[in-house]
Copies of this chain bind each other. A is one copy, B any other.
Amino acid sequence: MQTGPASASAEARGQRLPTNPRKELVREQLIDIAARMFDSKGYTQTGMADIAREIGLGRSAVYHYFSSKEEILAALVEAEALKPSLHLQEIIDDETLSPTEKLRRGLIDGIVRRLSSGSRFLLFSRLETQIPDQLGSLYNRSRRQIYDFYVRCIRDGIAAGDFREVEPKVAAFAVIGMANWTSRWYSPNGPMTPEQIGEIIADIAIQGLRAPTNDIASARATIQSLRGQIDDLEKMLF
C-alpha cells in the first residue's frame, strides 16, 4: 500500500518506491472518483463498494490499491496539503532567492499544481469539513505551514524594504485567496495555460505589496541640491 499518513512521511523522506505507471494511473483515477463521490454523497455515506462500482472494478481490485476509504482520503490529504507544504519548505530554505522571488515561486508553483489536478483541488476544498479527526491534524498542520510560508515571505520582504508596511497576516490571506480561487474559475479549455495564469496572479500580488522605490527619495535630494547650485550660480554671475 502506497499511501496513508505512514507512507506520507516515508515520502517526505524521499523513500517512495518506483511504481508501475498503469497501477499509478488506476490509483489516481480511484482517488479522483472517490473525491467526487465523497463530495456529492458525503464521506460517511460513501463505501468502498460504491467506489468500486463507480470505477467499474471488482471490490477486491480496489482493495489492491487502498485498504479503506480512510486511506483514499489520506492520499488526498497527502497530495493536496502535505506535498505542497513540503515544497514550500524547500523554497523557504533556498538562500539564493529573495523574499519576492520566494513569494513568486510559491504562488506560481501552487497555482500550476492546483490547475493541473483537474477538479480535485476544488472537490477537496469542499470536503474539508468531512475530514475525520485523525487525518485532520495532518491536514491542519500542512495548511498552517502553507500559511506560514506566505506570512514569512511577506515579513522578510518588508524587513528587506522590498514590500511596504502591510499587515503580513491579512496580506498572506489575500495572496492565498487569489491563488486558491483560481480552481473555482479555471477551465482547461480557456485561452491561458496554468503557467500564464500563475504569472499574472503573482505579478498582481507582488506589485500589490511592493514598497515605493527609494529612488524617489534620492531624486528629491538631488533636486534640492540642484536648486542650491542654481542659486549659487546666480550669485556668482549677477
- By a beta-carbon cutoff of 8 Å, the part of chain A in contact with chain B is 39-40, 42, 126, 129, 166-167, 170-171, 173-182, 184-185, 192, 197, 200-201, 203-210, 219, 237
Does B185 contact A181, Cβ atoms closer than 8 Å? no
Q: Given A166-B200, A200-B166, A208-B205, answer yes or no on A182-B177 (Cβ-Cβ < 8 Å).
A: yes
Whole-angstrom distance from the CB of A109 to the nearest CB of chain B?
17
Does A200 contact B174, Cβ atoms closer than 8 Å? yes
Q: Other CB < 8 Å A-B pairs besides A170-B201, A173-B181, 7 of them?
A: A170-B192, A174-B200, A177-B181, A178-B181, A203-B208, A207-B208, A208-B208
Which residue of chain B has its CB nearest to the CB of A41? B42
Whole-angstrom distance from the CB of A42 to the nearest CB of chain B?
7
The CA of A201 and the CA of B42, in the complex, are separated in Å by 34
- For the complex of A and B, the 3 pairs showing the least CB-CB separation, nearest first, are A177-B181, A208-B208, A204-B208
Whole-angstrom distance from the CB of A50 to the nearest CB of chain B?
16
Does B210 contact A197, Cβ atoms closer than 8 Å? no
Which residue of chain B has its CB nearest to the CB of A171? B204
Residue in contact with A174 in the complex, picked from B39, B167, B204, CB distance below 8 Å: B204
Whole-angstrom distance from the CB of A218 to the nearest CB of chain B?
13
Does A176 contact B170, Cβ atoms closer than 8 Å? no
Counting chain B CB atoms within 10 Å of each CB, the highest count among A42, A208, A237 belongs to A208
For A197, the chain B residues whose CB sits under 8 A away are 170
The CA of A126 and the CA of B171, in the complex, are separated in Å by 24
For A176, the chain B residues whose CB sits under 8 A away are 181
Which residue of chain B has its CB nearest to the CB of A183? B177
Residue in contact with A201 in the complex, picked from B174, B179, B184, CB distance below 8 Å: B174
Does A174 contact B166, Cβ atoms closer than 8 Å? no
The CA of A192 and the CA of B167, in the complex, are separated in Å by 10
Does B180 contact A181, Cβ atoms closer than 8 Å? yes
The CA of A166 and the CA of B200, in the complex, are separated in Å by 8
Whole-angstrom distance from the CB of A179 to the nearest CB of chain B?
8
For A192, the chain B residues whose CB sits under 8 A away are 167, 170
